[in-house]
Amino acid sequence: MGGALKSWIGAATGVLMLAALFMVFVYVPTEADEGIIQRIFYFHVPIAWVTFLAFGLVAIAGVFYLWLRQDVWDDLGYAAAESGMVFCTLMLVTGSIWAKPIWGTWWTWDSRLTTCLVLWLLYGGYLVLRALADDTPETARMAAVVGIVGALDVPIIIVSVRLWRTIHPAVLVTRQGSHGLEDPRMIATLLVAMAAFTALFLWLFWLRFATLRARTRISRLRLRLALGEIGD
């Protein structure tokens, strides 16, 4: 299903990723304050954006599944959650690599870091539910409910974690509102990296989605075979 589309997304991912790598390592000027390590920013921020995109898709797929009861929405939510989890992990890892030289520590309970960790745990729970439950319509409904409730919880998590860390003395001085992207080449690099990671996400998501669709169709065919509707 969508074989041609899949190849096109794959090709676009390859081209954009090469362009992003070139821009990050060769084209863009080194940031004045942080030096060479700041280049990880062009990976970290697009990865964070893709994570939120994926987890947003999980909730939207959940709503549509509960509304329309078509298993395509269930497969879509599952594929989005799995690929989102990959990017959420990458976000924590790249953030940690960036934090060590700049903040002097791999991990700190800063509000954004804490929010991301809680998100990671939340969608980890979602995937454990998927893994433990059998592949039935009940599981699809339960996963949809967890996906929706989890997404609704995210704004409260963000507000509470931010308040938690503003009342406590800040462990570190976070960057000011602007990222200091004065140079237009920095903005161009960020935009290309954004496109590259969005394409990478779409590609991984589409591969997983196609696999899940195939699995759903096989199990439906097996059911029909068992019922004697086809075969012989």
Partner 1 sequence: MTAMAALISILRKDLRLELRSGLSTIALVSLSLLILVVLVFALPASAQRGAEPAAGALWVALIFSGMLGATRAVLAERENGCIRALLLSPVDPATLYAAKLAASFIFMAVAEIATVLMMVLFFNLDFGAGILRLAPVILLGALGFAALATLLAAISGRTRAGDLLLPLLAVPMFVPALIAGVKASSAALAGEPLAAMAAWLKILTAFDVLFVVSGWLLFEFVVGED
> Where on the chain is the footprint of partner 1 (CB under 8 A)?
66, 118-119, 121-122, 124-126, 128-129, 132-134, 137-139, 141-142, 144-146, 148-150, 152-153, 156-157, 159-161, 163-164, 167
Q: Which is nearer to partner 1, 132 or 230 (CB)?
A: 132
Tell me how far apart the alpha carbons of residues 168 and 53 are, in angstroms, rounded to a whole number.
31
Q: Which is nearer to partner 1, 128 or 225 (CB)?
A: 128
Number of Cβ within 10 Å of residue 227's Cβ equals 9
What crossing angle do the helices spanning 3-22 and 184-226 adopt, rounded to 10°? 150
Closest distance between partner 1 and the C-beta of residue 66, in Å? 6
| Alpha carbons within 13 A on the beta-carbon side of 11 | 6
Burial (CB < 10 A; 0-12, 13-18, 19+), residue 60, is middle
Closest distance between partner 1 and the C-beta of residue 182, in Å? 36
Closest distance between partner 1 and the C-beta of residue 89, in Å? 15
Q: Which is nearer to partner 1, 86 or 146 (CB)?
A: 146
Q: Which is nearer to partner 1, 144 or 186 (CB)?
A: 144
Tell me how far apart the alpha carbons of residues 221 and 231 are, in angstroms, rounded to a whole number.
10
Closest distance between partner 1 and the C-beta of residue 162, in Å? 10
